[in-house]
Amino acid sequence: MGLVAFLKTQFIVQLLLSFVFVVSGLIINFLQLCSCVIWPFNRQLYRRVNCRLAYSLWSQLVMLLEWWSGTECTLYTDQATVDKFGKEHVIIILNHNYEIDFLCGWTICERYGVLGSSKVLAKHELLKVPLIGWTWYFLEIVFCRRKWEVDRETVFKSLERLRDYPECMWFLLYCEGTRFTEKKHEISMQVAESKGLPKLKYHLLPRTKGFTTTLQCLKGTVTAVYDVTLNFKGQKNPTLLGMINGQKYMADMSVRRFPVEEIPDEESECAKWLHKLYQEKDALQERYKTEGCFPGPTITPPRRPWALLNFLFWATLLLSPLVKFAWGVLISGSPLLIIGFILFLVIATVVMRRLIGVTEVKKTGSNYGDQNAKKQD
């Protein structure tokens, strides 16, 4: 293990990374709060400002994936599809199997200039998560409780409000509703059997209501649906902690573009289209498992320097005074100051660990398959 690789695994280094992310995030959240005064006078300016503030936070996570761990992302798609990236409003359908699947999506967003304006249909619980939920709130992210009778009015209003969004918007949907686990898969396939639907091997049964509603509300704004199927070389199961420790992964993403004109308007037919799409995604995953790659030509978009430069800006701004303060505390000899500083480090560690826990498969608890399993769309 080289020196750089060794340093990446050290707790104090990771703590400094966490400190930069957490403190810069709080500063960004405060600036977002201040930007609310713009909304009544110029809603589009407010949105452009918040896209850039969100980019300054999210790109730090992309930096960890691209520059810290050195993870590489290869696209399996054609040049004609890539030429449209970042130039149109689209809905992204991504499989939800890995802890860092969202980061792989974000790194493609970053490379094509739409990271700050990316959207997602997120579970309402995330609204309470510091930094993540707060930033999403100012970005007009659509939150749902996954109970249609409760969500209907809120989701429709939130989606309708995005129809005039000024920046190219990639709207991410995890149609499976929750991250894949063997237990959830078993329950999901029981539902598929009861509904007479083909069983899936690598995905949960898609919940169609979120997709059909999003497409209906954003029709005329979005011009295409991108189906993205993600897997990793060597059958790896990457984790956020592994990435923070500097472990490199090789991500492969099959991207298919479907113009909205080719997707049925009628809700039941649209739902059938989505089920067929997931059968095709399952076939893609089966091919990847046997051949180690997806079909089609490959394109590896180059990294841009902005995520790294943004992190270096925040690190320079925040770590210099922290180091000076820590040194002053140590040489002061004051037990109260030293204990207070240690307590601060412990709190920072707990906060970052909780943020990491949001992504962990074993901690992504949900009621999937309990009372509402039979009510799947």
Q: What is the pLDDT of residues 28-58, one digit of tens each?
A: 999 999 999 999 999 999 999 999 999 999 9
pLDDT at 373: 40
Phi-psi region of 159 (alpha: psi -120 to 50; beta: other; left: phi over 0): alpha
Q: Please give the average per-residue pLDDT across 139-156, as a whole number.
A: 84
Least confident of 29-33, 93-97, 344-348: 344-348
Q: Quick one: tokens of 359?
A: 């992504």
Residue 87 has pLDDT above 80, yes or no: yes
Cβ-Cβ contacts under 8 Å for 185 (sequence gap 6 or more): 200, 204
pLDDT at 359: 57
Helices 306-332 and 43-63 pack at an angle, to 10 degrees, of 70
Q: Residue type for 123, please? A: K
Phi-psi region of 213 (alpha: psi -120 to 50; beta: other; left: phi over 0): alpha
Q: Round to whole Å and give the CA distance between 85 and 233.
A: 24
Q: What is the pLDDT of residues 212-270, one digit of tens each?
A: 999 999 999 999 999 999 999 998 999 988 999 999 999 999 999 999 999 999 999 99
Residue 364 has pLDDT above 80, yes or no: no
pTM to 2 decimals?
0.89
Q: Round to whole Å and give the CA distance between 124 and 136.
A: 11
Confidence of residue 353 (pLDDT cuts 50, 70, 90): low
pLDDT at 192: 93
pLDDT at 372: 46
Do residues 279 and 198 touch, judged by C-beta distance below 8 A? yes
Q: Closest Cα to residue 318, out of 64, 5, 2, 26? A: 26
Mean pLDDT in the chain?
A: 90
pLDDT at 116: 96
pLDDT at 325: 82
Q: Round to whole Å and give the CA distance between 165 and 153.
A: 20
Do residues 252 and 299 touch, judged by C-beta distance below 8 A? no
Helices 267-291 and 208-218 pack at an angle, to 10 degrees, of 120
Residue 374 has pLDDT above 50, yes or no: no
Greater confidence, 331 or 288? 288
- Beta-bridge partners for 122: 143
Q: Please give the average per-residue pLDDT across 281-306, as a whole number.
A: 96
Confidence of residue 334 (pLDDT cuts 50, 70, 90): confident
Greater confidence, 357 or 107? 107
Do residues 185 and 369 touch, judged by C-beta distance below 8 A? no
- Exposure string of 243-260, with b = 16+ CB inside 10 Å and e = fewer, is bbebbebebbbbbbbbeb
Residue 64 has pLDDT above 70, yes or no: yes
Q: Please give the average per-residue pLDDT across 294-306, as a whole number.
A: 96
pLDDT at 149: 77
CB atoms within 10 A of CB 46: 20
Distances (CA, A) of 211 to 93, 145, 153, 218, 293: 9, 15, 16, 11, 28
Report percent pLDDT > 90 for the chain: 70
